[in-house]
């Protein structure tokens, strides 16, 4: 069998999806109990302030930005006691802090939900990547305030990348939930479906969480059979995408449908069918006669769809 590694493009597809542009130097091997306190007092430290699925943006004359000075962060209600050191931009620390503010913010600051930041293109790729990292870590930390072994309140360690139980000594580390998302294809058609919470007219790929003890390929096969009644043959990985809702990693694949009838699970899906190549192209280009569309350009589902279209 041929070895294809050196035939692959130097810029992998994962670099072009939304939330994947993080360029911070995480310095993970150097994290200790002094990392966060030192970062907080650094004169060039910047903070991302988040809470309840939203991030604080400053709408200033020079443009929109999400990085705030420590002084500004305190003014707009950052809880520095629960902050997490994300990494360094050069020598400048970047820290994520939860917001303690529930009401309106003073000008020029506004809360903007993560999806809107992403779909409206309010931040550049590297900023979106850092946002995804911070949102995921803060969500994990908030969800693990108590020890899963004995119930004691946990304490933050290692700049926010570990929570320790002072009673039983258990250590808890950030988690990432892997999700398989797959474009199932046969001949000149691909399978697209929609759930009830999708925007009007939007169709996308099937997706589901990867279960313990399961390979990516087997998760693709299981989820496709459960949701669409189709057996899958070959599975090919394409790209991945950090997804901070709350701390997932979308693993994008193409899947080969074996002969069989489509049978949708109507408890999971509102609609779905085989779409021919030219109809999918019309959806991607925004000219479908019925107004059908695919997800936003940065979504890994759309990258899977575009890659399939371009390979035809």
The predicted-structure confidence for 188-203, as pLDDT tens digits, reads as follows 999 999 999 999 999 9
Residue 71 sits in the same domain as residue 195 = no
203 located within any domain: yes
pLDDT tens sequence across 86-101: 999 999 999 999 998 8
Residue 104: what pLDDT?
83
Residue 66 makes CB contacts below 8 A (sequence gap 6+) with 48, 55, 56, 57, 58, 123, 127, 131
Residue 2: what pLDDT?
66
1 located within any domain: no
193 located within any domain: yes
2 located within any domain: no
Residue 158 sits in the same domain as residue 59 = no
pLDDT tens sequence across 232-278: 999 999 999 999 999 999 999 999 999 999 999 999 999 999 999 99
How many distinct structural domains can be found in the chain?
3
Residue 225: what pLDDT?
98
Residue 27 sits in the same domain as residue 81 = yes
Alpha-carbon distance 124 to 19, whole Å? 9
Which residues of the chain fall below pLDDT 70? Answer: 1-2
Residue 120 sits in the same domain as residue 201 = no
Bridge partner residues of 274 (DSSP): 191
Residue 61: what pLDDT?
79
Cis peptide before 108 (omega within 30 of 0): yes
Residue 59 makes CB contacts below 8 A (sequence gap 6+) with 108, 109, 110
Alpha-carbon distance 147 to 167, whole Å? 9
Residue 4: what pLDDT?
77
Count other Cβ atoms within 10 Å, centred on residue 77.
Answer: 18
303 located within any domain: yes
Residue 208 makes CB contacts below 8 A (sequence gap 6+) with 179, 180, 219, 222, 223, 226, 227
Residue 111 sits in the same domain as residue 201 = no
CATH number at residue 74: 3.90.79
CATH number at residue 241: 3.90.79.10
70 located within any domain: yes
Query: How much of the chain is helix, strand and coil, in % rounded to 5?
Result: 30, 30, 40
Residue 44: what pLDDT?
97
Last residue of a domain, one of 143, 167, 185: 143
Residue 271: what pLDDT?
97
Residue 290 belongs to domain spanning: 177-311
10 located within any domain: no
Count other Cβ atoms within 10 Å, centred on residue 179.
Answer: 20
């Amino acid at each position: 069998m041929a070895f294809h590694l050196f035939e692959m493009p130097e810029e992998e597809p994962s670099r072009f999806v939304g939330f994947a542009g993080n360029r911070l130097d995480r310095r993970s091997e150097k994290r200790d109990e002094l990392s966060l306190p030192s970062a907080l007092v650094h004169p060039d430290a910047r903070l991302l302030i988040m809470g309840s699925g939203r991030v604080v943006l400053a709408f200033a004359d020079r443009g929109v930005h999400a990085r705030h000075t420590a002084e500004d962060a305190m003014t707009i209600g950052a809880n520095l006691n629960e902050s997490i050191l994300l990494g360094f931009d050069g020598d400048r620390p970047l820290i994520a802090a939860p917001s303690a503010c529930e009401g309106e913010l003073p000008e020029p600051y506004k809360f903007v939900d993560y999806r809107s930041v992403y779909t409206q293109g309010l931040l550049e790729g590297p900023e979106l990547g850092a946002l995804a990292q911070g949102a995921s870590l803060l969500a994990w930390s908030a969800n693990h305030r108590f020890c899963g072994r004995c119930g004691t309140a946990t304490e933050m360690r290692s700049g926010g990348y570990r929570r320790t139980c002072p009673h039983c000594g258990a250590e808890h580390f950030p988690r990432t939930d892997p999700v398989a998302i797959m474009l199932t294809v046969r001949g000149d058609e691909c399978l697209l479906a929609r759930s009830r919470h999708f925007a009007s007219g939007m169709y996308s790929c099937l997706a589901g969480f990867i279960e313990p003890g399961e390979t990516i390929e087997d998760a693709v096969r299981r989820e496709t059979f459960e949701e669409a009644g189709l057996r899958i043959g070959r599975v090919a990985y394409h790209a991945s995408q950090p997804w901070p809702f709350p701390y997932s990693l979308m693993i994008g694949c193409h899947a080969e449908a074996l002969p069989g009838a489509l049978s949708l699970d109507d408890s999971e899906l509102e609609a779905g069918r085989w779409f021919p190549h030219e109809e999918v192209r019309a959806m991607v280009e925004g000219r479908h006669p019925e107004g059908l569309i695919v997800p936003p350009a940065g979504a890994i589902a759309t990258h899977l769809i575009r890659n399939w279209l371009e390979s035809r």
